[in-house]
Each structure stands twice: as C-alpha cells, then as structure tokens.
Structure 1
Amino acid sequence: MDQYTLNLLIVGATFALYIGIAIWARAGSTAEFYAANRGVHPVTNGMATAADWMSAASFISMAGLIAVLGYNGSSYLMGWTGGYVLLALLLAPYLRKFGKFTVPEFIGDRFYSPTARLVAVICLIVASVTYVIGQMTGVGVAFSRFLEVEVSTGLFIGAAVVFMYAVLGGMKGITYTQVAQYVVLITAYTIPAIFISLQLTGNPVPGLGLFSDYTPTGEPLLARLNEVVTDLGFQQYTNQDPSPGSVINMTLFTLSLMIGTAGLPHVIIRFFTVPRVADARWSAGWALVFIALLYLTAPAVGAMARLNLLDTIYPQGTNEEPIAYENRPDWIRNWEVTGLIQYEDLNEDGLIQYYSDGAAIAEERGWQGNELTVNNDILVLANPEIANLPGWVIALVAAGGLAAALSTAAGLLLAISGAVSHDLIKGRFNPNISEKGELLAARIAMAVSIAVATWLGLNPPGFAAQTVALAFGIAAATIFPALMMGIFMKRINNKGAVWGMVTGLIFTVVYIFLHKGWFFVPGTNQFEDTIAGSLFGIQSTAIGAVGALLNFVVAYFVAKSTEETPEHIKALVESVRVPRGAGVATAGH
C-alpha cells in the first residue's frame, strides 16, 4: 500500500471516530453544550483537558522551535507547564466553586458590572481568535503534506471536520472527542520518538536517549549536536543566546506564557464540566500527568530532529561537502511540494549549502549564502520520514498532528461561542431568550467563529507556536489579572477591573502590532515595520507579562481612588475562597 493511501485510511478513520462520538454525544441543552451537564469523570476530564491543552503548537511547532532554538526554546516548556500548575492551584477550584458556565460570567458577577463582563468577552475573543489561528496553521501544514493538497485546501477540510463535531456536540461532544484525540496524539508522538531514540542512541526512552551516547560516533548526543551546529555557524545548541536583552526576554516570555496559560478561557471552562470542586482539583492533577507524557518527550524529539536534519544534508560530516540537490532524499522532495522547504542554488554548484551566516566553512569553501529554507513547523511531522520509519508511523504522526490542532481549535471555538451566545446575547442583549434559542445562537456563533478562524489561518502572523505565544500574551495581560484579583483581592471593584483589563488589552495589542509592523501603510498593498526598536528591547511575544503588570497596577490604583466593593460581593468572594472544596458549587444554573 502506498503512503498516500495509508495516510488517507488512518486520518480518515480518526475523523470518522471523532464525528461518530459527536453524534453519540450530541448536546440537547445549554448545560450539555456549555459544560457537558457537569457530569464528566475527573480522569476523563483530565485526558480531555490535556488534549485541549496540547495544541498544534505543542505537537507540531514546539519541538520544531526547540530543534532550532535549543536552550532558548526551553521557555515554551517551562512557561506552558508552569502555567498549568498555576491554573490548577490558583484558579480552577475556585472558579468551579463559583459555578458559572463562562469566564466572562464570573468576571461580570464578581465585579458586579455588565461592562466588566463585556470587556472580558472582548479580551476572550481577541485571545482565543489569535490562538485558534495557530491551530488552523497547524492543520494546514499537516494536510498539505500528508494528503498532498494546498495549505488552503487543508484548512478548509479541517474547518469542516471541526464544524461537524463541535457545532453538533458542544462541550459534551468535544469532551469525549478530545479523549479519543488525546489517545491518538500521544501515541503518534511517542512511537516515532521511541524508534528514533533507539536508532540514534540505543535507548528506547527518548528523554533518557537525549543524554545518552550518539551511536555512530560514541560521543554524547548533545555534544555531537553542539559540534555540528557550531561548525555550520549556528548558536551552540545547549547555550543561552548571548545577544543583548536575551535574558530579560527569556524571563518575561516564560512569565508571559505561565500567566497566559492560567488565563486561557478554553482550558478554564474544562473545569466547569466536573460534578464537584474536589473533582476539579483531581482533573487538574490527572491532566498534568497526561501533559507530562508529551512534554518530557519534546526536548528529545527536537534535538534528534535537528541532528537528523543536519546529518541528512551532511552525511559524511561537516568537514565534507553536502549532498547534491539531485540526490536529495525523498522526504525533502515530498515537503518541497508544500512550499515549506525551499532550495535556491546560489553558487550554481548543485550542492545544498545549509548553514548560518558567519560560518567559517562558508568563507573557506566560497559559498554564497544559505540555500535551504526549512519551516520550523515541519520538523516533527517530517521526523519519521527523515529517519526512514515505516509508512504506518508516518500516517500516525499525521493523524496525531491533526488531532492536536483540532482538539484545541474545538475548545477555543466553544469558548468563543459561549462568550457570544451566553455572555453577549443572553447576558446583555436578550436576557429572556429561550434555552432553545440560546443553543441555536451558540451553534451559529461557533460556525461564524470557524469561518473567521479559517480565513485568518490562511495568512498567519508566524509559526504555529509563535502565533500561539501572542495569544498567551493577550490572555496574560487581560484575563489572568482579572481572575486573580477577583478571587484574592476583595478591594478591587468594578471600575478597577474594567480599567485594568482595558489597559492591559490596549497596551499589549498595540505593542504587538507596532513591534510586528502590522499597521497598514496607506496607498500600498503591504505592511511595513513602523518602529525601529522596541520598549527596552522586549519582544512582542514577551510583552504580555508587562501588560499584566500594568493591569494589576491600574486596577489597584483606580479601585483605591473610587468607592469600596459592596459587602455582598466581599461575602461572595469569601465564600468562593473558603475551602469547602468537596461539596457542590456555591452557585449555578
């Protein structure tokens, strides 16, 4: 059986499974659509949360960034994992005890303000739409290679599948679909990692293989990788970036990912689906276990992918000439079709010169510049092909990448549709809407969200993980501070919360647009970088931590200079914080 047919069969089988689950678990009420009727078992919810959490950025792009960035890519691991711990300890149990359906509903009730709820809706939509762009980017990358279609066609196929199971099943359908998607994605991630670790080091555990000896030379794998990348002019893999501002950017970026994680609405709403507050805590613990299975493997996958890639181009070592373009391996030929690998023969010698500017060997050999461009997002997906693994493993990785992207996309779209239908339509414009009408509005909102996300995914602002990092920055600067102050600071009133969120949102979004150069230049059809530098050298992906600080400061001083929080709200906050955690929620529908 050829690879294309195998890909179709395995990917098609997983899609049929997801849609079948959605039909079985079709939501018939708003309680089922928004919160799966609060009847999900903690282990099941933990697995679904892990799938919701481990997006295309985790599965496809994170290891690719680690492969390229080395030590500096560890920010993604530390930020995302640490942030989940913050969410599990500081937010999830308290929000579940409050007993509402959505994050904006909590903010609106806690800060006794329809305006606060509206601002929270806007912040949620901006962060979630930015995040879902990264998922659709991952869907397009996976489809374009494994089903041999254009990236845009892959996006449309992915959107259609999400539409089928998310619009039909709501949270109930998404929960059980995500359980299946977790099984698919973790299997698809670990099996090739085990094969490749065995090939390169003889150790079947990828995390241990990373610190084992590289079989062909007998030297430690990381030492071998450092030697190869430095020969080619790249930064040493295990060293920190020596450029000015790298330390502050790495620190702020890690912090931004951590608090952005704790403020992501699509993860928070997963804890609204369990019966009791104690179950929310257990769900968080189980989710961390399931997440760790992938995150402990990712550094090894990234390092081994980088080494395999370089050994493909320089099979005799960097002291010898690279391979000729006409002799390039099949995996390069396959990925060239997608446009995600590009070759330009600058010195017309027919060889593939792949290196970084400044490499000593380039001047010695008279090379005219790097000739191979490799998109970071393909490394995990291409890894089994680079390592010449069996065809079924390649197809399984395709299914895993799609499962990761689609599971998170569904969770994000549910958060968006809930904010629109429950918080905007019912909460602000039509409080008397019937349950049937609200359910219809939620499904229409999700359908529109899918269309918008697909359109935006056609022109993403960066690699999947980079796009997702921007979403984390927005969530860090807006939602996380409001939730933390809402739970732990009774003095913060409605005016403080509103002005804090508005400040964090405007500052962060404007900074990202300025730093990225996305402001449209009148009279042209292109975007232009409008600033020469940045605030203290802080990158756009790291600015969320600064936005969060501004949110806290503005909220505090506005609250201090205005009226006290009403006593009944203080009592509400106290009731949420009292650790009567094993019982039912204090409020609900």
Structure 2
Amino acid sequence: MDVQIWTYIIVGLTFALYIGIAIWSRAGSTRDFYVAGGGVPPLANGMATAADWMSAASFISMAGLISFMGYDGAVYLMGWTGGYVLLALLLAPYLRKFGKFTVPDFIGDRYYSELARTVAVICALFVSFTYVAGQMRGVGVVFSRFLQVEIELGVIIGMAIVFFYAVLGGMKGITYTQVAQYCVLIFAFMVPAIFISIQLTGHFFPQIGFGATLEGTDTYLLDRLDGLSQELGFNAYTNGSKSTMDVFAITAALMAGTAGLPHVIVRFFTVPRVKDARISAGYALVFIAILYTTAPAISAFARVNLIDTVVDKNYSEIPEWFKNWEQTGLLAWIDKNEDGVVQYSNGAVISGITPEFIEGEKGSFGQRIVSNVDTSSPNELYVDRDIIVLANPEIANLPNWVIALVAAGGLAAALSTAAGLLLVISTSVSHDLIKKQIMPDINDKGELIIARAAAAVAVIIAGYFGINPPGYVAAVVALAFGLAAASFFPAIIMGIFYKRMNKEGAVSGMIVGLLSMIFYMLKFKFNLLGESTPEDWWFGVSPEGFGFVAMLINFVVSMVVCHLSTPPPADVQEIVETIRFPRGAGRAGGH
C-alpha cells in the first residue's frame, strides 16, 4: 500500500481512539471539566503530562531546529528539559497543596485581588494563544503532506478533532486521550529513529548511534557532519554561532517559561494528593527523556541523509520524497545557474521568510519559476525546518507504514498540547472571569456551558493563528515561553517563597514584564515598529531569549513596588507559610 492509504488507516484509527475516549470520559461537572475530578492515577497523569508537554515543537520542530542550527539548537533541548525539572521541583507540589483549578485562581487568591486575577487571565490568554498557534501550524504541516491537502484545510481538520474531544470531555477526556497520544507519539518517534540508527551506524539505540562511527567506516557520525557542513559553507555542526549571552538568555527564558506554563501546571491539580503530584512529575520526566535524548540523534541522521541524497545531484535523479514535499511548498529548489543540479550552501533562496513566497510553474529542469529569487547567495535549496522529522523516514527510504506512523505521531503531539491549551483558555474565561468575578452565583451547569462555549471560540481563534502563523513551530512556541517567563514565573515563585510579596508588587511586575516582552516581539520579531536587524537587539539578546530579560524586569519592579507599599494581610502570609510544606492537601477546588 502507498503512504497515503497507510496514513488514512493509521491516522483514522488513532482519531477514532481519541474520539472514543472522549465519549467514554465525557465531563459531567465543572470539576470533571477542569481537573478530571482530581482522581487521575500518577502513572496516567505522568503520561498525560508528557504528551501535554511534548508538543508539535518537541516532536516536529525541535529536531529540525537542531538539524539546521547544530550546536546552537541545543538551547531548546536544554531550556525545555531544565524547565520541566524546575517545574517539578519548585512549583508543582506547592501549587497542588494550594488546591486551585488554575494559575489565575492561585494568583487571585494568593494576592487577595481580583485585579491580580484579571491580569493573570490576560497573561494566560496571551501565552496560550501564542503557543496554540504553533500546534495548529504543526497539524497543518502534517496534513498538507500526508493527506495531500492545503495547510489551511489541514488546520481546519485538526480544529474539528480538537473541538470534539476538548469541548466534550474537558480535562477528563483530554487526560485519557493524552495517555493514548503519548503512546502513539513516542512509538512514532522511536521506530524510525531506531531503523535509521541501525542503517547508518549499526546501533539499535539512537542515543548510542549519535556518538558512534558510520557503518563500515572509522568516521564518526558527527565528524562526517562537521565535514559536510563546512564543505557547503556552513559552520561546523558541533560549533555554535550564537553569542554566549544569547544562548544563556534563550535557555533561561525557556526554563522559566516552562515553569510558568499554565497548561502544564494544571496537570498537577488532577491527582488526588501532593505525593501523587511528585510521583507523576517523576514519571513524566522519564517519559519526556525518551524523546528528548533521541532528538539530537534524529537531527544528525536527517542532516546527513538530506545532504547525501540531494545535494549536488541532478534534479532528474532526485528521490521521489523530494518531489512529494515540493508539492506542499515547504521544500523547493530554484535553479539559479540553470545547470539542473541542486546546489546547497549557506544563504537565502528567496526574498521572504516563508515558503508561501514561492510561486509559479516549474521550468525546464523542474525548478520553480519565481519573481523574488535572492540572487545574493548561490543557495538553491529551501527546506522548511518543520519537515525534518516528518520527512526523515522518506529520506531514509523506510517502509510506508513507518512514514504514516510518523504522521500520526506528529498529529498526536500537536493535538494533545492544543487540547491542553484550549482548556486553559476556556477555564480562564469561565472560571476565573465569569464565575469568580462577573457571575459569582452561576450554577455548576451554567458554568460548564460557558466553559464549553469558551473552548469552542478558542478553537476558532487558534485555527486562524495556525493558518497565519508568525513563524515556524518552535520559534512561535519559544515566544510563548518568553511570555510565560516574563509574566507568570516571578508571580508564582514569589507567591510561594516570599511572604512579603503583595498584590501591588505582583500586579505591577506582571504588567511590566508582559508589556516588555510584547514590545520586544513587535519590534524585533515582527518589525511592526520599524525595520530592525540582529545588530539592534538589546544586550545582543534575540526575541526568543528576551523573556529572560523581561522576567528580571518583572522581579525588580515587583520587589520595588512591594517594599513601597503595605505588606499582605496576616492570613495571606499564613497561607504562604502553609503551602511551603506540601504535606497533604485537600482536593482541587476553587469555589
């Protein structure tokens, strides 16, 4: 059977499984909808947390980033992994002890202020919508290649699936769906990695193959990759080009942003006890490590195979996978010197950022005829970073069922995180705004209806951002982490460990931190406040790393304002003293 039929079969079966779980675990109360009734076993919660955490950025885009950036791409690996450890050790048990549904709920009660709650809701919406845009983009990329549809239609199909099980099942449905999605995505990620590791190095475990010699030679894989990269005019794969300051800032922003992600934090409210929160955090770390220790190997395998199978080859000899991906617009060859040979080197192919700039029919050698060719560089090959993991099995000529399995895994990764984010959006609106502030007397049934309606609206907005993304998946997600670091992280950390922090300090810090990050994104990422270049970056820090700087601004503003205003009430300080020792806890609540 061909790839498309296999894809229909495997993706269809996984979608049927997700929908079946959603129907089986349909939420009947707000407690089911928000925190799955607070009764999820630690092992299941660990798998669900891992699936929630390993989004399309982890499955689809992270390996692509490392493949193209080499050593520099490791900042994403270090930041996201270190951030999860930070979350598990510093935040999860204490927030579980507090026993609320949401992060805005914690901030509103800890800082005894409805204004603080409202600001936290706004921060949650900014973070979640930015993050979910990357997930929906990932869904569109998978569908565009494997179901032979436009990216826009792929996003709409993904919206429909997420709408069904997120709106129907709430956290209860999402949790058990994510358990299934973790199984799908980790199997889909590891199977081709193992196949390709055996092909290239003879080692079953990709982690070992990454540091081994190529099969039948004395040349190490990374030495081979360094040589190929330098021959083509790139930096050595194992050398970085980013400044130390930027590497540090991006890593710190990703770590702090991870610890402030509301859709991951809420997962620890779904277990019965604080002890279970700690155990599920440990399980999740093991499940996450399986993928994260494999990603660098997949990146290196894909880079070597891509160069060996395509570069300096006549277009008439190019493998079929290349031509298949050309149809999506996510890979393109422009024959600048008209010799019919694919040339690949450091430099831009087209005058633009995304493949949508490529247009027109194919010329005599098959290259696309475009009006916006970048003639300043000899590079003729455009490869979107988000296709590396998805195309990897095709590049390595693996069986069609493996290719289809990877498509199902990519969808599982994107949809699992998108569902978690949509739940955060809906609970922020229904619980923290409507129930807590606007309509405090609303009954459980009415609140559940509003939560589902908010989730439905959020799906539509998320779909729009997926169709019109501000960049490739991991870059969009990195901005979401920066927003979380700039807004939530200081307020949560000081809310747990600093009794003197009051509402004036926390609210001021969140507002200034969030606005600082938004300003920097608009100015240096989207160029909406005038044209800019990397030379204009403040302190040499990229937009992906500025969340660290904005976080420091948040801390400073919070501390200054805090000490210029009155201390929090004694009962609030007593709450802080209590949650510092997370032994035992009541069930998650909020009413």
TM-score band w.r.t. shorter chain: over 0.9
CA contact (8 A) 2:145 2:325 kept: yes
1:301 counterpart SS class: helix
1:167 is the counterpart of 2:136: no
Which residue is 1:540 aligned to?
A: 543
Which residue is 1:271 aligned to?
A: 268
Q: Distance in 2 between matches of 1:212 and 1:517?
A: 41
Q: Distance in 2 between matches of 1:396 and 1:587?
A: 39
Give the 5 Å matches for 1:522-537: 529=532, 533-537=536-540
Query: In the alignment, residue 346 of structure 1 is paired with which amino acid?
Result: K
CA contact (8 A) 2:96 2:585 kept: no
Q: 1:286 aligns with which of 280, 283, 287?
A: 283
1:407 is the counterpart of 2:397: no
- Work out the percentage of aligned pairs sharing the same amino acid: 60
1:456-490 deviation digits (Å, cap 9, x = unpaired): 11111111001000000000010111100100011
Shift, 1:586, TM fit: 9.0
1:396 is the counterpart of 2:399: no
Q: 1:339 aligns with which of 329, 333, 337?
A: 329
Which residue is 1:353 aligned to?
A: 343
Which residue is 2:368 aligned to?
A: none
Give the 5 Å matches for 1:168-567: 168-215=168-215, 217-241=217-241, 246-314=243-311, 322-357=312-347, 369-519=378-528, 529=532, 533-567=536-570
CA contact (8 A) 2:534 2:540 kept: no
Query: In the alignment, residue 326 of structure 1 is paired with which amino acid?
Result: S
1:395-421 deviation digits (Å, cap 9, x = unpaired): 000000000000000000001110010
Which residue is 1:362 aligned to?
A: none
Q: Distance in 2 between matches of 1:551 and 1:355?
A: 42
CA contact (8 A) 1:107 1:116 kept: yes
Please report the TM-score for the alignment, with normalisation by the length of structure 1. Answer: 0.94
Which residue is 2:586 aligned to?
A: 584
CA contact (8 A) 2:97 2:584 kept: no
Query: In the alignment, residue 353 of structure 1 is paired with which amino acid?
Result: Q
Q: Distance in 2 between matches of 1:367 and 1:236?
A: 22
1:514-563 deviation digits (Å, cap 9, x = unpaired): 00234278xxxxxx559971212211000000111111110111010001
Q: Structure 2, unaligned stretches of length 5 or more?
A: 349-374
1:219-264 deviation digits (Å, cap 9, x = unpaired): 01100110011000011001121x6xx1100000000000000000
Q: Describe the shift of the 1:587–1:347 C-alpha distance in structure 2 as closer, same or farther (beyond 3 A).
A: closer
1:575 is the counterpart of 2:565: no
Please report the TM-score for the alignment, with normalisation by the length of structure 2. Answer: 0.94
Q: Distance in 2 between matches of 1:3 and 1:572?
A: 57
1:153 is the counterpart of 2:153: yes
Q: Distance in 2 between matches of 1:227 and 1:530?
A: 30
Q: Distance in 2 between matches of 1:141 and 1:529?
A: 29
Q: Describe the shift of the 1:585–1:172 C-alpha distance in structure 2 as closer, same or farther (beyond 3 A).
A: closer
Shift, 1:434, TM fit: 1.1
CA contact (8 A) 1:6 1:391 kept: yes
Query: In the alignment, residue 286 of structure 2 is paired with which amino acid?
Result: V
1:106-161 deviation digits (Å, cap 9, x = unpaired): 00000000000000000010011000001011101001001010000000000000
Q: Describe the shift of the 1:22–1:586 C-alpha distance in structure 2 as closer, same or farther (beyond 3 A).
A: closer
Shift, 1:327, TM fit: 1.8
Shift, 1:510, TM fit: 0.6
Shift, 1:217, TM fit: 3.7
1:541 counterpart SS class: coil
Q: Describe the shift of the 1:586–1:206 C-alpha distance in structure 2 as closer, same or farther (beyond 3 A).
A: closer
CA contact (8 A) 1:11 1:399 kept: yes
1:169-193 deviation digits (Å, cap 9, x = unpaired): 0000000000000000000000000
Q: Describe the shift of the 1:367–1:137 C-alpha distance in structure 2 as closer, same or farther (beyond 3 A).
A: closer
Query: In the alignment, residue 484 of structure 1 is paired with which amino acid?
Result: I
Q: Distance in 2 between matches of 1:535 and 1:347?
A: 39
Which residue is 2:95 aligned to?
A: 95
1:373 counterpart SS class: strand
CA contact (8 A) 2:139 2:154 kept: yes
Shift, 1:273, TM fit: 0.2
Q: Distance in 2 between matches of 1:2 and 1:544?
A: 45
Q: Distance in 1 between matches of 2:177 and 2:487?
A: 30
Query: In the alignment, residue 75 of structure 1 is paired with which amino acid?
Result: V
Shift, 1:368, TM fit: 6.5
CA contact (8 A) 1:98 1:587 kept: no
Which residue is 2:370 aligned to?
A: none
Q: Distance in 2 between matches of 1:560 and 1:128?
A: 32
Q: Distance in 2 between matches of 1:88 and 1:3?
A: 40
Q: Distance in 2 between matches of 1:587 and 1:15?
A: 32
Q: Distance in 2 between matches of 1:406 and 1:153?
A: 15
Q: Distance in 2 between matches of 1:488 and 1:44?
A: 30
CA contact (8 A) 2:522 2:529 kept: no
2:332 counterpart SS class: strand
Which residue is 1:144 aligned to?
A: 144
Q: Distance in 2 between matches of 1:502 and 1:367?
A: 43
CA contact (8 A) 1:130 1:467 kept: yes
Query: In the alignment, residue 92 of structure 2 is paired with which amino acid?
Result: A
Q: Distance in 2 between matches of 1:368 and 1:263?
A: 41
2:28 counterpart SS class: coil
Shift, 1:584, TM fit: 3.4
Q: Distance in 1 between matches of 2:515 and 2:482?
A: 12
CA contact (8 A) 1:347 1:367 kept: no
CA contact (8 A) 1:277 1:585 kept: no
Q: Distance in 1 between matches of 2:416 and 2:444?
A: 26
Shift, 1:325, TM fit: 1.1
1:316-340 deviation digits (Å, cap 9, x = unpaired): xxxxxx1111221111011001000
Shift, 1:92, TM fit: 0.5
Q: Structure 1, unaligned stretches of length 5 or more?
A: 315-321, 359-365, 522-527
Shift, 1:578, TM fit: 2.1
Give the root-mean-square deviation of aligned CA atoms. 1.6
Q: Distance in 1 between matches of 2:339 and 2:115?
A: 65
Query: In the alignment, residue 212 of structure 1 is paired with which amino acid?
Result: A
Query: In the alignment, residue 450 of structure 1 is paired with which amino acid?
Result: V
CA contact (8 A) 1:503 1:551 kept: yes
Moved more, 170-179 or 324-333: 324-333
Which residue is 1:108 aligned to?
A: 108
1:412-455 deviation digits (Å, cap 9, x = unpaired): 00011100100011111111111111000000100101100100
Kindly tell me the number of residue pairs found equivalent between the two proteins.
565
Q: Distance in 1 between matches of 2:384 and 2:588?
A: 49
